[in-house]
A and B are shown apart, each in its own frame.
Chain A
Amino acid sequence: MTFSPQLEARFATLLASYPPGRERSAMIPMLLYAQDELGSVTDELIAEVARRTGVTPLQVDEVISYYTMLRRKPAGKYHVQVCTNVSCLLRDGDRLFEHACQKLGIENHGVTADGQFSIEEVECMGACSWAPAVQVNYEFHHDVTPDKLDRLLDELKEKR
């Protein structure tokens, strides 16, 4: 399996960061970086990461199925993550999530037909001070109201 030179360089650094025989420690960051490049964790990627970290594909699958941030199906170009954990919930994070679902016309873990947006209800993102919080890909958005979210999504829609 071939990756971009940048990703290969990252893999090399990661695998060298752990003592010999402990290459499996690099598994999670490798999967996260590879997922960004490929859009999701494919069977081929699982086999490749297993080979490089010296574990079985099943052991990689154990990790992927445990962590929600590792996805077996591609997300949208913009992956909208709405927190509904305690602090955000107290500030109407749950309603914000429902609003986002309605606006995009999809359910939790869904992807819009054009592949532009996907949505996920997530647990605490560490942004409680500015609840409710939303994360789009790696960008944080604070004190989000339904109006602010509409504007944000419209902007992104135009950006394409």
Chain B
Amino acid sequence: MPDPVKFTIDGLALSAPPGTSVIDAAKKAGIEVPSFCYYEGLTLVAACRMCLVEVEKMPKLMTACTLPVAEGMVVRTNTPQVHTARKYMLEFLLTNHPLDCPVCDKGGECELQDMAFRYGAGESRYTETKVHTPEKQFSPVVFFDAPRCILCYRCVRVCDEGMGVKALGVVSRGVVSEIAPNHGDHLECDECGACIDICPVGALTSGTYRYQTRPWEMTHVGTICTHCSDGCKTTLGTRNDRILRGNNRDRSGINGEFLCIKGRYGFDFYDHPDRLQAPLVRKDGKLEEVSWSEALAAVANKFQQVLGEEGSFGIIGSNHTTNEENYYLQKFARQVLGTNNIDHHRTGDVVTTLDALSGKTGKLATVADLYRAKAVLVLGADLALEHPLLSFQIRANYRHHQAHVYVVTANPVREDKYAAAVVRGRDYASLAARLKAEPDLAILFDDSYKGDDIRAVVEFGEQLGIPVKYVPLVDRSNSRGAVDMGLTPELLPGYQPSGQPGLHYDEMAAADLSVLWVVGANPLKAGASRKAGFLVVQDMFLTETAAQADVVLPAACAYEKNGTVTSGTGELQRIERAVNTMGAKADLEIIGYVAREMGAAAKMGPWTPDAVFQEIRGAVRGYNVPMPVLVTGGAAGTTPINGRVAADARPDLVRSDHNGLFASGTLGRYSKILNSVVESRQSR
């Protein structure tokens, strides 16, 4: 580490490593140097000139963002000259700015407003007519109002550098220069909305949020996105029990400010008109709306009756319900219904991975590890489409730390562009020599690696002679949690062997069970007919499975309940209720009410998320996480076992849906925005 450089800013004697910019050094010392174009993590452009500071022995004001600190440098940020420069820059930026703040989406949380308030001049000398151009729609998601733009290039850079998409540019010059999309009049991109979120003004606005509300009218609820397994935090802005937008401007989650289209806009399935809002019971062959008490009684009575007749039960749980719901459901199945026929749709072979890593500690890479690892090996997965956050982290790691990325996939992927080596196919062993020379490594593999393939990958990784961490990629928001909570016949919570036989997901759907109880899954998606004598389904929508049920119980979605979920990389995070949908209940509550109706409430214990989570902390190794971390919206790493898993992992049951950026299983089917993007692409 080279010696720190000593300098002063505003009379404070400071020191920082060589290469630190004046703006960063000032920020660290608590001195604000205003800027628009400077953005942590993105390249420098020095376009906005807001960060001008006075530097002794330099003939003119310098941009603090591009000026590295130097030995003995004396910087002043609080002089009349600097204040005047800021006033002039703001006056200049406002020359053509429409000042339509009263109707602008950004009004109230606009950086230009804040800067004008704090540093701006009271009046402008410009009396000329403002240059105006009409707004443009770049895509279903992105709208552009050129007059509001201050040309800070943040959107252009975040799209190129952050997302690796390069869909935005700046065309023309001078007063008529403006942001342009990559396909003439429209965008073809990930539709992630990062450009909108990063825009300091209201130039780029969101198709779903624009003109909906004033920012200060919203309540902000930080929760976890319910689509893929990456576990991004999304801050939902709600008003009058409606979600108006998702973003992560406070950057408090494991995803920093990253969100893909699903996290930012894909919440809209929650108020789809097809949402179930009353329980349905089949009467004379038709599903009819009934009261909750009638529906719960029908379920409980049937369960009691089948228990009395010693009939058979099958329970299919979900890979997107909470840990508490999963834990409570398997407890109900095993302790109240006395069956081991319990499973869920498995999307990655977590079990084999944990077994192969038994006896070793710290072997599972977290999202943060992917940003720090010196080298990353991607096996099979198209991360940019299926795990956009992990792709973003690895890209950022490459940009900021020059990490070496090795890609071994069947088809071209976005990581190819900056990969140290690309192998088409599965021959990762050919990279052995290069990988051995790396200081450390993170290996990610998708569901095309399971069972013995995973053991081979782990064996390969462990003989490299360097520290290696692994990520077994899974699909859904709580796929990992479902296995951890014992939603399989082979395993109890915490990977303890059940020692009992039990039917699997597909077997249950096809078996002549007395009762099949499906919670947040759609096993009859492909059009098969139900075989079970009595079918109970808990879901948000009338899925193919629910349509064949005897009783359908309307479930709350992830944005309408509390609990915890575990990301694919093992981070345990809390989800928090943002809104309510009348008539729907959280799955945990529904299971609890069924237990109460059956007189099993005492056996099952309370059905509040906090109480169940306390039980999980005791029952599942690795889940005894520090509560302050969780409660304050943080992520806690989990390692649910560190020993052999004494059960068959059944890798043959693992199959990922490989949902891309604009698909998300049943939820995706009911998301207007995801569908509108797909449609707009098809119509071109």
Contact indicator B182/A58 (Cβ below 8 Å): yes
B171 within 8 A of A: yes
| B180→A58 contact, CB < 8 A | yes
A44 within 8 A of B: no
Those of B156-198 within 8 Å (CB) of chain A: 166-173, 177, 180-182
Chosen A-B contacts, 9 in total, with CB atoms closer than 8 Å, are A56-B169, A56-B182, A58-B166, A58-B167, A58-B181, A58-B182, A61-B171, A62-B180, A65-B172
Please give, as numbers and ranges, the residues of chain B lying within 8 Å of A62 by CB-CB distance: 169-171, 180
Would you call A138 an interface residue if the criterion is a C-beta within 8 Å of the partner chain's C-beta atoms? no
Instruction: Give which listed residue, A57, A58, A59, A65, contacts B173 with CB less than 8 A.
Output: A65
| A57 (CB) vs chain B CBs: closest residue | B182
CB pair A61–B180 under 8 Å, yes or no, is yes
Q: Which residues of B have CB within 8 Å of A59?
A: 166, 169
Which A residues, 39 to 72, have Cβ-Cβ distances below 8 Å to chain B? 56-59, 61-62, 65-66
Of all chain A residues, which has the CB nearest B166?
A56
Residues of B within 8 A of A58 (CB): 166-169, 180-182
Q: Which residues of A contact B171 (CB under 8 A)?
A: 61-62, 65-66
Q: Please, how many residues of chain B have a CB less than 8 angstroms from a CB on the other chain?
A: 12
Q: Determine the residue in chain A with the shortest Cβ distance to B417.
A: A54
Q: Roughly how many angstroms separate A66 CA and B171 CA in the complex, as a whole number?
A: 7
Quote the shortest CB–CB distance from A98 to chain B (angstroms). 24
For B180, list chain A residues within 8 Å (CB).
Answer: 58, 61-62
Instruction: Tell me which residues across on chain A come within 8 A of B168, comparing CB atoms.
Output: 58
Cβ 8 A contact of A66, one of B167, B173, B181: B173
Chain A: interface size category: under 10
User: Which A-B residue pairs are the 5 nearest by beta carbons?
Assistant: A65-B171, A58-B169, A58-B182, A62-B169, A65-B172
For the complex, give the distance between the alpha carbons of A58 and B177 in Å.
Answer: 14
Summarize A's interface: helix, strand, loop or mixed. helix
Considering only CB atoms, which chain B residue lies closest to A55 in the complex? B166
Flag if A61 contacts B169 (CB, 8 Å): yes
Closest to B172 in A: A65
**Bound: A58/B184 CA distance, A:** 8
Give chain A residues whose Cβ lies under 8 Å from the Cβ of B167: 58
B173 (CB) vs chain A CBs: closest residue: A66
| CB 8 Å contact bits of A72-114 with B (1 = contact, 0 = none) | 0000000000000000000000000000000000000000000
Shortest CB–CB separation between residue B183 and chain A, in angstroms?
A: 8
Q: Report B397 CB to chain A, min CB distance, Å.
A: 20
Cα distance A61–B177 when bound, in Å? 12
Residue of B169, B170, B173, B180 with highest tally of chain A CB at under 10 A: B169
- Which residues of B40-89 are within 8 A (CB) of A? none
B182 — which chain A residues lie within 8 A by C-beta? Answer: 56-58
Give residues 114-153 of A contacting B (CB, 8 Å): none
Q: How far is the CB of A46 from chain B (nearest CB, A)?
A: 11
Bound CA span A65–B176, Å: 10
Nearest residue, chain B, Cβ from A43: B184
| Bound-complex Cα distance A65 to B178 (A) | 11
Shortest Cβ gap from B96 to chain A (Å):
18
Question: Chain A residue with minimal CB distance to B176?
Answer: A65
Chain B minimum-CB-distance residue to A67: B173
Bound-state CA distance A58–B181 (Å) is 8
12 further interface pairs, Cβ-Cβ under 8 Å (given A59-B169, A62-B170):
A58-B169, A58-B181, A58-B182, A59-B166, A61-B171, A61-B180, A62-B180, A65-B172, A65-B173, A66-B172, A66-B173, A66-B177
Contacts of B170 in A (CB 8 A): 62
Chain B residues, CB < 8 A from A61: 169, 171, 180
- A57 and B171 CA atoms in complex are apart in Å by 12
Distance A133 CA – B169 CA, assembled complex (angstroms): 35
Q: How far is the CA of A151 from the CA of B333 in the complex (A)?
A: 100
Least CB separation from B167: chain A residue: A58
Cα distance, A6 to B12, chains bound together (Å): 63
Chain A residue with Cβ nearest B178: A65
- Cα A57 to Cα B170 in complex, Å, equals 12
Question: How far, in Å, is B566 (CB) from chain A's closest CB?
Answer: 38
Q: Tell me, in angstroms, the Cα distance from A39 to B624 when the chains sit together.
A: 72
Taken together as a complex, chains A and B put the C-alpha atoms of A149 and B169 apart, in Å, by: 41
Report A-chain residues with C-beta under 8 Å of the C-beta of B172: 65-66
CB of B419 to closest CB in A, whole Å: 14
- A69 → chain B, closest Cβ, in Å? 13
| Identity of the chain A residue whose Cβ is nearest the Cβ of B182 in the assembled complex | A58
Please measure, in the bound complex, the distance between the C-alpha atom of A73 and the C-alpha atom of B619, giving whole angstroms: 73
A62–B173 Cα distance when bound, in Å, is 9
What is the CB-to-nearest-CB distance from A66 to chain B, in angstroms, rounded to a whole number?
A: 5
Q: Which of A57, A58, A61, A65 has the most CB of B within 10 A?
A: A58
Q: Residue on A with the closest CB to B181?
A: A58
* Cα A114 to Cα B549 with chains together (Å): 77
User: What separation, in Å, do the CA atoms of A66 and B180 have in the docked complex?
Assistant: 13
CB distance from B149 to the nearest CB of A (A): 15
Q: How far is the CA of A57 from the CA of B172 in the complex (A)?
A: 15
**Hey, which chain B residues are within 8 Å of A57, CB to CB?**
182
Minimum C-beta distance from B65 to chain A (A): 22
Report A-chain residues with C-beta under 8 Å of the C-beta of B169. Answer: 56, 58-59, 61-62
B391 to chain A, nearest CB (A): 19
- List chain B residues, Cβ under 8 A from A56: 166, 169, 182
Distance from A8 Cβ to chain B, minimum over Cβ atoms (Å): 27
How far apart sit A59 and B170, CA to CA, in the bound complex (Å)? 8
Q: Which residues of chain B in 468-494 are interfacial with respect to chain A, using CB atoms and an 8 Å cutoff?
A: none
Per the bound structure, the CA–CA distance linking A124 and B54 in Å amounts to 34
B676 to chain A, nearest CB (A): 23
Cα distance A111–B182 when bound, in Å?
30
> How far, in whole Å, are A62 and B182 apart by their CA atoms in the complex?
10
Interface residues of A in 1-60 (CB under 8 A from B): 56-59
Quote the shortest CB–CB distance from A144 to chain B (angstroms): 28
Point out the residues of chain B lying under 8 angstroms from A65, CB to CB: 171-173
A109 CB, min distance to chain B CBs, angstroms = 14
Contacting residues of chain B (121-180) with chain A, CB-CB under 8 angstroms:
166-173, 177, 180
- Shortest Cβ distance from residue B204 to the other chain A in the assembled complex, whole angstroms: 16
Bound-complex Cα distance A58 to B168 (A): 8
CA distance A57 to B166 in the complex (A): 10
- Chain B 370-404 near chain A by CB (<8 Å), digits 1 or 0: 00000000000000000000000000000000000
Closest CB of chain A to B170's CB: distance in Å? 6
In Å, the complex CA distance between A58 and B138 comes to: 14
Alpha-carbon distance between A113 and B181 when the two chains are bound, in angstroms = 34
- Return the chain A residue nearest B170 by Cβ: A62
Query: What's the least CB distance linking B161 to chain A, in Å?
Result: 14
Alpha-carbon gap, A97 to B181, bound state (A):
36
What's the nearest-Cβ distance from chain A to residue B168, in Å?
8
Complex Cα distance A62/B177, Å?
10
A61→B168 CA distance, assembly (Å): 11
A77 to chain B, nearest CB (A): 27
B591 CB → nearest A CB, Å: 52
CA distance A62 to B169 in the complex (A): 7
Within 8 A of A (CB), among B343-361: none
